[in-house]
Chains A and B, each alone.
Chain A
Amino acid sequence: MNDTMSRYRTMIGHRLFWPAAVLFVMLAANTIYRPGFLSIELKDGHLYGTPIDILRLSAPLILVALGMTLVISTGGIDLSVGSLCAISGAIACMYISKQPDQNSLGVVVTALAMALGVSLVLGAWNGVLVAVIGIQPIIATLILMVAGRGLAQLITEGQIITINSEPYRAIGLGHALTLPLAIFIALAAALLVAAFTRRTALGMIIESVGGNAMASRLAGIRSGRVIFLVYVISAACAAVAGFMMTANVSSADGNAAGLWVELDAILAVVIGGTSLAGGRFFLSGTIIGALIIQTLTTTVYAMDISPQTSLLFKAVVVIAVCLIQAPAFRARFSRRRRNAPPPATIVDKPKEQVPA
């Protein structure tokens, strides 16, 4: 009895419990509303169904949010990721559209390399502004957020560039092992970032810099380099996300590609339990956060909520998610019920607060 109680408490105290519970409730609500929601079928060797769609559509957001997690962990923020998506997509599509053979694999690889290279340079620009010059991250990346849209427009010459390249299209819509390729790309990116931060000491050093910059400096950490690096990583993630977004529609629109994705990414990071104040970061939490956001978007469509109210609906759900996660709110809530037979107290650990 006592044992199950403590196990229950450990589970509830786990940092992934609340995000996972929210995701579960959302899926359950959808299934009740539309019993076929979770069904998956195999057609032409490919799996189809709403859950697969959610995974595929959340891939770009997962990518952007992974980079954002590291940036936020250092106590910074990267507002330029949406523009970077647009720029990388624009460069890749522009290059491919100018080639005689758009279906050549070599052309696509060259295009990706070029776009990725430019994105890394732009990420380095962010990094220099924040780490070397010392501009506040929100302002430093705001520069590229605004100017980047213009840059993307310049690259596409104000047009929507449409391409007809099968290999490029595959990034967004291709399949491998019955599943959409995008899922694998996001998964690979997640594993790569996880290995890069947790197999090396980078993760701990990022958390240390974000947790207490002054103490980290006095411990001998050259925090400038670390901060520079996370903005470059964030740009690289955004670039790949940009490929997916443009590949989905086989066209690059400098205005629309990746619009507002930075806000969704920040939200995903926060839902995942990483504090906006910096410090500890949770990649798995971020992924769940991104899935929650995509599930929410899909739900809005599936439930036929009118477009006029869909944003409001999203906002209400997001507020609820953030409140459920906030230890202070949960504490108040559980205190109010304290007179009733004690439900295993949730306020076990006043852990990462979730500033929303």
Chain B
Amino acid sequence: MTDSRPVLTMTGISKSFPGVRALHDVNFRLFPGEVHALMGENGAGKSTLIKVLTGVYDTDEGAITLDDEPVSFTGPMQATAAGVSTVFQEVNLCTNLSVAENIFIGREPRLLGAVRWGEVRRRARDLLARLDLALDVSAPLGSYSLAIQQMVAIARAIDIKARVLILDEPTSSLDASEVAQLFRIMRQLRDEGIAILFVTHFLDQVYEISDRITVLRNGGLVGEYLTTELPQLSLVEKMIGKELDVLEGIEEHSRRDLAALEEGTPLVAVSDFGRAGAVEPFSLTIHAGEVVGLAGLLGSGRTEVARLLFGADRADGGQVAIDGAAGSLRTPAQAIDHGVGFCSENRRAEGIVADLSVRENMILAMQAARGWLRPIPRRRQDELVDKYVKALNIRPADPEVPVRNLSGGNQQKVLLARWLITEPRLLILDEPTRGIDIGAKTEIQKLVTQLSDGGMAVLFISAELEEVLRLSHKVAVMRDRQMVAQLANDESLDADRVMQTIASGSHREEADR
């Protein structure tokens, strides 16, 4: 399997965007007849690497060879023609066209300009037969399941003498049996000698299908490993890395007695709370003054938990108790009435209103709760805004500039201020420190401890384990859209144990192995 020569190599690849170094000196190779998993957290550079490979982006530095020939594609079409085909995450086929049309769209066999439909259907049937699929090629693609559509996309990709097949998160919207079907085809193609580059967030799938793993982190190459030689725990470690910024003082905070905090009626208690396709039902209690950390890899369902608790998405079922009484969290407005605030991880799309000023963005949630008929008096607005601009050290300190002119970290602080102004009892922070510089990060972490000391409950979501451990009293661990464990953050808990839980599921499962 590995003794042959690589069909594809990428050496010393670097790629920068204004202000961001997306890839730095990355090497990657792909052998014929292997499934090679490309792993890394979001922002690690996986998509950029694929886009560089397929010619969507130019490289700043580095070389790509295909069959020992240096290549440089100018676009996916050219890459496909050279035998490097890509199936993207969202199936970008036309569901209203027939299966056969989808496979040959843009390159239909023609005779004197007219499409030879008989030929199209015959060749489509042949291709699908190669994948052991018996479909009615004249039926509209939309009449088949997502998994089948995915396979039609693969059929389209391998039509032209494909030697390299890139599958970017092909399983993210498939259920277990559909994944099995997809894997069967992947194995078949692998056995035919096609090299498959596989990107996924699901660890189990990596170990089920892949022969080799390349890990990226922060745009750099961590290493290339044989799957059999890399335990799941080390893989997680390599993906997350360890951050070594030490924040004195904060550490002690989280070690406070969880039992004391958890006395009395919980502020929010949910049970059997879940949403099909987003997150399996879970139970969670949050008490006043408690910081609950939510750990897990990206795509493990962390954000989905937050959105359910805030009513941004509606739960399918389960019970909600607020202060011990049955309540409901079905819309954001309802959650806010109960004293819940939510800073989305997606600042730009779900957080700031770019057109409005810093002041308006800050008072937005409070104003929404009061209703438009009761405007906050301008003097009161200025007081509140002034207070938080100072307290959070927001720059520039001019509340009337449009918020779009602020840096990411300052926008994040504006959003924090938006919720702090409403004096929430539970504040949900989804990746509040992502993509902001270290100074702002420290300030936000300190703020969280201050708030919880003041009696506010915080649900803190972060991809950085160190940060979660530093701040939380209790850590809930997400894995494959399930809440697999809730661990008290006492002396016995450290990053290794959380990683172990992320990697292997609950302790019970671990014991079974």
Taking Cβ atoms with an 8 Å cutoff, the residues of A that contact B are 199-202, 204-205, 207-208, 211-212, 214-222, 226, 279-280
* Sample (24) of A-B pairs whose CB atoms are under 8 Å apart: A200-B375, A201-B374, A201-B376, A204-B356, A205-B367, A205-B368, A207-B356, A211-B353, A212-B354, A215-B344, A215-B349, A215-B350, A216-B353, A216-B368, A218-B310, A218-B312, A219-B365, A220-B332, A220-B335, A220-B369, A221-B333, A221-B368, A226-B372, A279-B355
Q: Which residues of A contact B369 (CB under 8 A)?
A: 220
- A280 to B376, alpha carbons, bound, how many Å? 19
A199 in contact with B375 given A208-B353, A215-B350 (CB within 8 Å): yes
Q: Which residues of B contact A214 (CB under 8 A)?
A: 349-350
Q: Is the CB of A215 within 8 A of B353?
A: yes
Taking Cβ atoms with an 8 Å cutoff, the residues of B that contact A are 310, 312, 331-333, 335-336, 342, 344, 349-356, 360, 364-365, 367-376, 418
- A207 to B353, alpha carbons, bound, how many Å? 9
Q: Is the CB of A219 within 8 A of B349?
A: no
Q: Is the CB of B418 within 8 A of A219?
A: yes
Q: Which residues of A contact B344 (CB under 8 A)?
A: 215, 218
Q: Which residues of B contact A211 (CB under 8 A)?
A: 353-356
- A189 to B508, alpha carbons, bound, how many Å? 70
Which residue of chain A has its CB nearest to the CB of B340?
Answer: A220
Contact of B332 among A207, A218, A280 (CB under 8 A): A218
Closest Cβ–Cβ distance, residue A92 to chain B (whole Å):
30
Q: Which residues of A contact B360 (CB under 8 A)?
A: 204, 207-208
- A85 to B368, alpha carbons, bound, how many Å? 33
- A215 to B360, alpha carbons, bound, how many Å? 13
Contact of A212 among B332, B352, B371 (CB under 8 A): B352
- A215 to B353, alpha carbons, bound, how many Å? 7
Knowing that A205-B368, A218-B332 are A-B contacts, what are 10 other residue pairs whose CB atoms are under 8 Å apart, sorted by A's residue number? A199-B375, A205-B367, A211-B354, A212-B349, A215-B349, A218-B344, A220-B335, A221-B333, A222-B333, A222-B368
Closest Cβ–Cβ distance, residue B81 to chain A (whole Å):
36
Closest Cβ–Cβ distance, residue A220 to chain B (whole Å):
4
- A298 to B319, alpha carbons, bound, how many Å? 67
Closest Cβ–Cβ distance, residue A75 to chain B (whole Å):
11
Which residue of chain B has its CB nearest to the CB of A217?
Answer: B332
Contact of B372 among A200, A219, A280 (CB under 8 A): A200
Q: Is chain A's binding surface mostly helix, strand, loop or mixed? A: helix
Closest Cβ–Cβ distance, residue B352 to chain A (whole Å):
6
Give how many A-B residue pairs fall within 8 Å (CB-CB).
Answer: 81
Q: Which residues of A contact B312 (CB under 8 A)?
A: 217-218
Q: Which residues of B contact A217 (CB under 8 A)?
A: 312, 332
Contact of A219 among B368, B371, B373, B376 (CB under 8 A): B368
Q: Is the CB of A201 within 8 A of B372?
A: yes
Q: Is the CB of B365 within 8 A of A220?
A: yes
The 4 closest A-B pairs by CB, nearest first: A220-B368, A220-B336, A279-B355, A211-B355
Contact of B375 among A201, A215, A216, A280 (CB under 8 A): A201
Closest Cβ–Cβ distance, residue A232 to chain B (whole Å):
14
Choose among A202, A211, A216, A219 the residue with the greatest number of B CB atoms under 10 Å from its CB: A219
Q: Which residues of A contact B371 (CB under 8 A)?
A: 201
Choose among A201, A212, A214 the residue with the greatest number of B CB atoms under 10 Å from its CB: A201
Q: Which residues of B contact A221 (CB under 8 A)?
A: 333, 364, 368
Closest Cβ–Cβ distance, residue A87 to chain B (whole Å):
29
Q: Which residues of A contact B336 (CB under 8 A)?
A: 220
Q: Is the CB of A216 within 8 A of B355?
A: no
Q: Which residues of A contact B355 (CB under 8 A)?
A: 207, 211-212, 279-280
- A42 to B155, alpha carbons, bound, how many Å? 83
Q: Is the CB of A202 within 8 A of B372?
A: yes
Closest Cβ–Cβ distance, residue B268 to chain A (whole Å):
17
Closest Cβ–Cβ distance, residue B345 to chain A (whole Å):
12
Q: Is the CB of A218 within 8 A of B354?
A: no
Q: Which residues of B contact A280 (CB under 8 A)?
A: 355-356
Which residue of chain B has its CB nearest to the CB of A209?
Answer: B353
Which residue of chain B has its CB nearest to the CB of A199?
Answer: B375
Q: Is the CB of A219 within 8 A of B375?
A: no
- A220 to B336, alpha carbons, bound, how many Å? 7
Closest Cβ–Cβ distance, residue A333 to chain B (whole Å):
24
Q: Which residues of B contact A199 (CB under 8 A)?
A: 375
Q: Which residues of B contact A220 (CB under 8 A)?
A: 332-333, 335-336, 365, 368-369
Closest Cβ–Cβ distance, residue A2 to chain B (whole Å):
21
Closest Cβ–Cβ distance, residue B199 to chain A (whole Å):
27
Which residue of chain A has its CB nearest to the CB of B371?
Answer: A201
Closest Cβ–Cβ distance, residue A117 to chain B (whole Å):
23
Which residue of chain A has its CB nearest to the CB of B352?
Answer: A215
Which residue of chain B has its CB nearest to the CB of A213?
Answer: B353
Which residue of chain A has its CB nearest to the CB of B342?
Answer: A218
Closest Cβ–Cβ distance, residue B304 to chain A (whole Å):
15
- A221 to B332, alpha carbons, bound, how many Å? 8
Q: Is the CB of B367 within 8 A of A204?
A: yes
Q: Which residues of A contact B353 (CB under 8 A)?
A: 207-208, 211-212, 215-216
Q: Which residues of B contact A200 (CB under 8 A)?
A: 372-375
Closest Cβ–Cβ distance, residue B366 to chain A (whole Å):
9
Closest Cβ–Cβ distance, residue A44 to chain B (whole Å):
45
- A214 to B307, alpha carbons, bound, how many Å? 13
- A208 to B349, alpha carbons, bound, how many Å? 13
Which residue of chain B has its CB nearest to the CB of A197?
Answer: B372
- A218 to B306, alpha carbons, bound, how many Å? 12
Q: Is the CB of B351 within 8 A of A215?
A: yes
Closest Cβ–Cβ distance, residue B301 to chain A (whole Å):
19
Closest Cβ–Cβ distance, residue B69 to chain A (whole Å):
43
Q: Which residues of A contact B418 (CB under 8 A)?
A: 219
- A202 to B371, alpha carbons, bound, how many Å? 9
Q: Which residues of A contact B364 (CB under 8 A)?
A: 204, 208, 216, 219, 221
